[in-house]
Amino acid sequence: MFDYVIVGAGLAGCVMAERIAAVSDKKVLIIEKRNHIGGNCYDYYDENGILIHKYGPHIFHTNLKHIWEYLSQFTDWYEYQHKVLGFIDGKKVPIPFNLNTLHELLPESLAEKLEEKLIDKFSFNTKIPILELKKSEDKDFKLLADFVYEKVFLNYTKKQWGVKPEELDSSVTERVPIHISRDNRYFQDKYQGIPKNGYHKLFEKMLKNPNIKLMLNTNFKEVIKIIDNKIYLLEKEFKGKLIFTGQIDELFNYEFGELPYRSLKFKSETIDKKYFQEVGTVNYPNNYEFTRITEFKHLTGQKQEKTNIIKEYPEIYNKEKNIPYYPIPKKENKNLYAKYLKNKKKINNLIIVGRLAEYKYYNMDLVVNEVFTKFKENILNE
Ligand SMILES: Cc1cc2nc3c(=O)[nH]c(=O)nc-3n(C[C@H](O)[C@H](O)[C@H](O)COP(=O)(O)OP(=O)(O)OC[C@H]3O[C@@H](n4cnc5c(N)ncnc54)[C@H](O)[C@@H]3O)c2cc1C
């Protein structure tokens, strides 16, 4: 009855289902364990009509025109450019650290001198990783790098990941830049926005195709069995393809042990005033237990009398209790993942895609792009 079965109705699963149903005109069943579609991008309206991103703020941003155009078939956009402030030394200053941040936190004469030297050495509107600056022979650059590392990066990383930065892949530290510019936006991508009526509506529209059937509140293990590397759907051998967007270690019954993740707890509060903070997100690297506060009305442009905020508390991941949000970027975890990936060959007709199955932190645009690639390679010409 079905040509394809997809595990997971998150972004990866929904885009794959839409492509198969619309382009290949084949029948798809999606199995999802939560009670809603959209995975971590899911949003809903609260009792005051405020649109909340249930699993933390999701700002769509990309330089890939074809991805923007593809998603624009399913939604109009609120043209939002994300701004983040960091609460540092008692002040709220632009993040990522840029020339405006420099002037707000350092004495004016020092800030002016550093600005001139940075532009001279690296030129205006460039991004320079703080680790590169730290290695510099120049005493002023080293001082600046140490300052940003201590005030912006170190404690945020410890809270977010529960370990010191040096215990993570160097790729994490390497990515943190100083932006030699006056641009206070968090992202510089060409296309940025929030779906006007929410991500949920976008996903509903994607799945509105008679070729797609959806099964919510169902763990794939209740309906799918793998025996002798063959796939069984409700006890019958399934000859179509299985597209898996869940956790790869779960698929293989944790054969080599669990892949580690970092989880989060979200505490939502309604506040009886029009706005709570100046911008969409304020980071708290050095104070409090939470890492950041997001106020959704900034993201969506809604004008309600009340407002809603979410505080994010990083947590240890436990598969019985919470959700695996972030793969932990460490070499030993990548090696463990590689072992699972080798197992993939053992199951006939298995395609893996998405952030859990690939054990990779992916922004939304790259998830869509990855689905496009896998669709083209494995399905389009069948
Ligand atoms: C806090 C946070 C903020 C983010 N902010 C941004 C942002 O601003 N911009 C951006 O571009 N990206 C952001 N992302 C990344 C974005 O969430 C991901 O790119 C996207 O959600 C990945 O989609 P996915 O389908 O791969 O995974 P998911 O959304 O996790 O979907 C996987 C689905 O599979 C289901 N599933 C898992 N196991 C099973 C099972 N056993 N049986 C049945 N179903 C199962 C899950 O319930 C889930 O619905 C953020 C991520 C987080 C965690």
pLDDT at position 173, please?
A: 73
pLDDT at position 169, please?
A: 87
Nearest ligand 1 atom, CA 11: 25
214 lines ligand 1 (CB under 6 A): no
10 lines ligand 1 (CB under 6 A): yes
- Which residues does 99 contact at the CB level (< 8 Å), separation at least 6? 115, 118, 179, 180, 181, 182
Q: How far is the CA of 109 from the centre of ligand 1 (A)?
A: 46
Q: How far is the CA of 58 from the centre of ligand 1 (A)?
A: 10
Q: Give the CA diameter of the chain.
A: 75
Taking 70 as the pLDDT cut, the residues of the chain under it are none
pLDDT at position 130, please?
A: 87
211 lines ligand 1 (CB under 6 A): no
Cis peptide before 94 (omega within 30 of 0): no
Secondary structure string (H, E, C) spanning 38-61: CHHHCEEECCCCCEEECCCCCCEE
Distance set, CA 92 to CA 85, 290, 301, 352 (Å)? 6, 16, 22, 42
Q: Mind listing the pLDDT tens digit for each residue in 156-187?
A: 999 999 988 888 888 777 778 899 999 999 99
Element housing 199 (H / E): helix 199-206
The Cα 249–Cα 191 span in angstroms is: 35
Q: pTM for the full model?
A: 0.97
Q: How far is the CA of 14 from the centre of ligand 1 (A)?
A: 11
pLDDT at position 382, please?
A: 86
Angle value at C-alpha 377, between 374 and 380, nearest 5 degrees: 95
List phi, psi (to 5°) of 58: -120, 105
Nearest residue to 141 (alpha-carbon basis) of 113, 169, 167, 164? 113
Q: How far is the CA of 142 from the centre of ligand 1 (A)?
A: 38
